[in-house]
């Protein structure tokens, strides 16, 4: 099922639904923060200071919209490696993100053990991610199962790419959540590529949401560059999950504005035309234009915000760069939990 915000809340995409102007500006702030941080990481990579970057550029609206529908400190998130905007909204700081980029000892995700963008933060209920794609989908079902056993009402949210839907764990995890009616939201961020492989070589359907009915749960496809639509769709999925009605599969159609990662060169498989035209779908520009239109954000305010965020990212970069590397002696720590 493909929905637009207008189907859900008549007039919503014009009005921003029931969100206050302050909240909308806050959402914009997170999108911008994610973008600026992400761009900075590429600069650091190109300058030889960060060996690996993988981006959320183009996915910001899908992530900020969804995360705003969750309750921070209560709900669990299991975001995949493009989830920078997700973890920022859930409470990770730019400095913490940069500590991960530089693999510093105090990186909260892994103490410099994992590649950047493998987010984890126990206090924030962000569950540790690995690199083999799709495993978190099964974990998410399990977190939901435990919640049901404990009688709690936290909701579990996980994200993954459309390529990852080809994995067995996608199927097994969603199926379990559906059978047991678990409070889990599965967000597929469909950017039409798995590294170089286009969507049509992953699936013979046009939308990942078409798979919801195969599991007996709603499958909803939403324009993932439209923050308010994603927010609204997720809000409803959260309500459904919280009241015990079970899982939802959401496909957020996004664009991948960068190469797959700093190790990739997408000009070998995307045409010049495509590389250019995708820029038109930039969710950040889209939401900025919306806020300007609605007179919720002036040019001057945006400029100030950019300056403020720029400074914040400078400070985060500097703090993280100066943080100590992991002590080689710590290699042997935490093989087993005590």
Partner 1 sequence: MPEINLLEAIRQGLDEMMAQDDRIFIFGEDVGRRGGVFRVTEGLIDKYGPLRVLDSPLAESVIVGACIGAAMNDTRPIAEIQFADFIAPAFNQIVQEAARIHYRSNGDWSVPMVIRAPYGGGIHGALYHSQSIEAFFAHVPGLKVVAPATPYDAKGLLKSAIEDNNPVLFLEHKKTYRLIKGQVPEHDYRVPIGPAEIKRPGEDLSVFAYGLMIHYCLEAAQSLAASGVSVEVVDLRTLRPLDVPTILASSRRTGKVLIVHEDNLTGGFGGEIAALIAEHAFEYLDAPIVRLGGPDVPAMPFARSLEDAFMPNPQKIIEAMRRLAAY
Ligand X SMILES: Cc1ncc(C[n+]2csc(CCOP(=O)(O)OP(=O)(O)O)c2C)c(N)n1
By annotation, the residues acting in catalysis are 256, 260, 269
User: How does DSSP assign 102-170, residue by residue?
Assistant: TT-TT-TTTTT-SPTT---BTTTTBPP--SSTTHHHHHHHHHHHHHHHHT----EEEEEESGGGGSHHH
Nearer to a copy of itself, 147 or 169 (CB): 169
Interaction of residue 263 with partner 1, rule CB under 8 A: yes
List the single partner that 191 binds among a copy of itself, partner 1, Mg ion, none, CB under 5 to 8 Å by kind: Mg ion
**131 lies in the binding site for ligand X (CB under 6 A):** yes
Intra-chain end-to-end CA distance of the chain, in Å: 47
**Which of 32, 70, 141, 257 is the binder for partner 1 (CB under 8 A)?**
141
Stretch of 115-123, 226-234, 243-251, 287-295 lying at the interface with partner 1 (CB under 8 A):
115-123
Lay out the site mask for partner 1 across 219-258 (x = CB under 8 A, - = otherwise).
----------------------------------------
CB of 219 to a copy of itself, least distance (A): 9
* Contact stretch for partner 1 (CB under 8 A) within 9-17, 104-112, 211-219, 221-229: 104-112
Closest by alpha carbon to 102, among 305, 325, 287? 325
211-230 burial string, b = 16+ CB within 10 Å, else e? Answer: bbeebebbbbbbbbbbbbbb
Min dist. Cβ of residue 59 to partner 1 (A): 18
Q: Does 202 bind a copy of itself (CB under 8 A)?
A: yes
Pick 9 or 194: Cβ nearer ligand X = 194
Q: Which of 148, 115, 147, 140 is nearest to 130 (CA)?
A: 115
Applying CB under 6 A, among 10, 11, 73, 132 the residue interacting with ligand X is: 132
Place of tokens 């990212």: 313
Task: Give the bridge partners for 187, in sequence order.
Answer: 159, 250
What is the footprint of ligand X within residues 148-177 (CB under 6 A)? 160-164
Indicate the length of the chain as a whole number.
338
The label of the residue with tokens 């993100």 reads 97
Which residues here bind a copy of itself, judged by CB under 8 A? 166-172, 175, 178-179, 181, 200-205, 210-211, 213-217
């Amino acid at each position: 099922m493909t929905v637009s915000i207008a189907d859900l809340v008549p007039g919503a995409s014009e009005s921003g639904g029931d969100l206050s102007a302050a909240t909308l500006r806050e959402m914009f702030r997170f999108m911008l923060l994610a973008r600026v941080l992400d761009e900075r990481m590429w600069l650091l990579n190109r300058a030889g200071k960060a060996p690996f970057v993988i981006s959320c550029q183009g996915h910001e609206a899908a992530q900020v919209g969804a995360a705003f529908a969750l309750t921070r400190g209560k709900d669990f998130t299991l975001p995949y490696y493009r989830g920078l905007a997700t973890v920022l909204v859930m409470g990770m700081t730019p400095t913490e993100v940069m500590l991960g980029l530089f693999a510093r000892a105090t990186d909260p995700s892994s103490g410099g053990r994992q590649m950047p963008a493998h987010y984890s933060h126990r206090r924030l209920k962000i569950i540790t991610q690995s690199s083999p794609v799709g495993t978190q989908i099964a974990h998410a079902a399990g977190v939901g199962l435990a919640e049901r056993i404990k009688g709690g009402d936290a909701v579990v949210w996980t994200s993954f790419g459309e390529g990852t839907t080809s994995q067995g764990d996608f199927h097994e995890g969603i199926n379990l959540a559906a059978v047991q009616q678990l409070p889990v939201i599965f967000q597929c961020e469909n950017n039409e590529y798995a590294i170089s492989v286009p969507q049509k070589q992953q699936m013979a359907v046009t939308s990942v949401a078409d798979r919801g009915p195969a599991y007996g749960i709603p499958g909803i496809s939403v324009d993932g560059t439209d923050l308010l639509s994603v927010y609204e769709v997720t809000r409803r999925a959260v309500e459904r999950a919280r009241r015990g009605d079970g899982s939802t599969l959401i496909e957020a159609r996004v664009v991948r504005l960068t190469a797959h990662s700093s190790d990739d060169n997408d000009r070998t498989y995307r045409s010049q035309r495509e590389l250019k035209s995708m820029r038109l779908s930039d969710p950040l520009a889209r939401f900025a234009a919306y806020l300007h239109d609605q007179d919720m954000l002036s040019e001057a305010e945006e400029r100030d915000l950019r300056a403020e965020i720029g400074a914040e990212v400078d400070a985060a970069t500097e703090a993280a760069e100066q943080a100590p590397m992991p002590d080689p002696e710590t290699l042997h720590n935490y093989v087993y939990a005590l």
